[in-house]
Structure 1
Amino acid sequence: MDKAVRAKRELCVQRMSEIHAVALKASSDKVERAILLECYVDVDRIAQDFEAMHLKIIQDGSFEFKTEDEIRAKFDKARYQIKSIYRKYAPSTVVPRGTTPTSNFKLPKISIPPFSKELALWPSFFALFNTSIYNNSLLTNTEKFQYLISLLSDDALSAISNLPLSDENYPIAYDTLVSRYKNKRKLASHYWNSIAGAKQLKVDSAESLGKLLDTFNENLRALELMEFPVDLKDFILLNVLLGKLTPSLREKFEAEHRKTEIPRFKQLVKFLNEYCRVFASLSIEPPPKKSSDKPSKNPSAKSSTTSTFVTNEVSCLQCNQSHLLVKCPAFLKLTEKDRHAKARQLRLCLNCLKAGHRASSCPSQ
């Protein structure tokens, strides 16, 4: 991290501490009270500069989050105490009759990068919003709602755009955004995909190698800071294997584990083993029949065979017993190659082993 950024943030901390010291003496010293009224105008600007530098530091990734957050918490505590004390001594404003104090009220500007829909930017936006606005007891819910709307765009703004601006609707809007974007699994998958999709080096250079290392370090650090409830190795294996599946299989797995925040790798393996047995049963094909070894010269005979199979599904083509073809003992003894050849000869669907349609149009799941 650039030393200049940390130095600028430290300067903001120092200046806020000096104003805080003045505010603490204001109740007993008229001179200090007058100084507070003069220097208070710098408080919001110092806070904006601090937040800008602090955001750069926490986005770098090479820091101890707990230590940095303690610095932020101490700074905010001093700022809010200054504001609270200032309100005791700030000159009152005369409001003309027939108007409301908030009719022309303009919220102070707070420097937080706006959020649209990118999952990777949600954690930093969420942390800064909570620190500067959500936990600020000096703001009303309506004022917090105003800030929230001003900091959103695109999909995120659309999610709450239908809610009227009011104290009652602010927690609804806040919870709506949290439920949509605070998804540990989606966010972790995004970080992992950034690592897995990192571009391979084409040339040996400090710039390209540095970018590759930054991609790995930043995303791995982000995964660690999430306090992930599962082992990172387990999660990586889960995502790699999921990425190799067909869309239909993946959809079935997600539906079966929709109530699990982050499925485990062994759950996926168990699920796939079960489907292996299902597929093995469905792929069993019919045995050769003596009566059909030679092609029939009578077209109607072939049509009759097909019709019989369609209308009587429980009549086994191998032994004419009342069971499904796939459960016939004689049929199961055939090799896979022979079953496949016989199914083609009998013009059966290779998916469900029934006549009258092809595998591409088979209605069976």
Structure 2
Amino acid sequence: MSTETETLKKLRVKRSQCKGTITRIENFVQDPVSLAAASADILEARKEKLISTLKDYEKVQMDILGIDEGDSEQVGDIEDKYYSILAKINSSLKMLNTKVTSECHNASTCKLPTIEIPFYDGKDFTKFKPFFDLFSAVIDNNNSLSDVQKLFYLRKYLQEDALAVIVNLPLVNESYKEAIHLLKRRFDNKARLIANHISILLDIPTMQKGTAVSIRTFVSQINQQIHALKNLEEPVDKWDMLLISILTRKLDQFTNRAYQLDRDLDTMPTMASFIEYLEKRAIALEDSQQNKHSTCYEGTNKHFNIKSTCYEGVHKSIPKVTNVVSKSLPPCRYCENKDHQIYNCHIFKMLPVAQRQSYVKEKHMCDVCLNNHEGKCKFTFKCKICKQGHNTLLHQERNVSVDKPTIVDVSAHPPSPDAGLHKN
């Protein structure tokens, strides 16, 4: 088959597709139920599709005639169908527009909710533009009001420092434009706005606890000021290192430490990656609070109805439940938090290994199960790293500075569920 024949075949297939689209739109407008139920947006979309399809059809037809002058396509039939469909769509759109106009022929018959304009006292420069934009939309652009009426409303919504700027102007038409000029000169100062947003960013309170709520509040405060500065055409995208250095100091100790440990040391940090890390941490903290109803421990035949999370991230089925206890476990030996034990304490795990070892020795705790008990420990698990008879949290690598925290996998030793209850 020649190239010309193959091209002609493809063009005729494309022409058939165009004709099929026009036929489907024709079927739609000929169905009185579908046409009556169609909104103005749907009709406009069909109309645009019809017009673009006819243009495609005409172009394809010209290409076909360029190859085959004797083509027998009845172009007139397609054009008649097109104009008939277009007329029905335009008629339906006109009826819809007439209905809307008759229902809402003037403002008195179309009552909209009242827009409340907030008062502006002039104390916060960043609030002037939102105030004035709303005032302009509701009052300033209302052509039915005279300038003196607009001035009256303007004075009504100003208080304290802002009102003092225009209060001595006489209540006449000529004073309105002067009042607007004085207010913008005083409060719509770009340099002062930028300085104000930077001050708010620098004065964001330090996080006391790295909870999901406090992290989300922290991120929201940052984003508001950064977007405001971008709107004022400040090159915030070039401030990444400066902002990160300032904002990391406002994180709580553990969130800051976790960020420094998790970030890629081989690449320069960016504000986008910093915000993304905080948002992911907030999500993780929220998700970790959802599974607090029951806990299963590997290597034990007891099921405890306490608030915790299954180890390894999965629910381990226990073949036989031989004992159910309702007594809750004692609080963490290190931070005294009732929601976890020392083997799952993120504060204890962030300590250097030498400090963990010293604490366990000082409190006369078993270096295998991290409990207090007499005699030999009944648990036989060993360090996952060196396979010796101690808890993985107490493993000390050789030739490693004792001041450097060692992060270990909690799943190395599923801790004893009867922590604080163990006695031989």
- TM-score, structure 1 length as denominator? 0.36
Structure number with greater Rg is: 2
Higher helix proportion (structure 1 or 2): 1
- TM-score, structure 2 length as denominator? 0.31
Higher relative contact order (Cα pairs below 8 Å, separated by 6+ residues) = 1
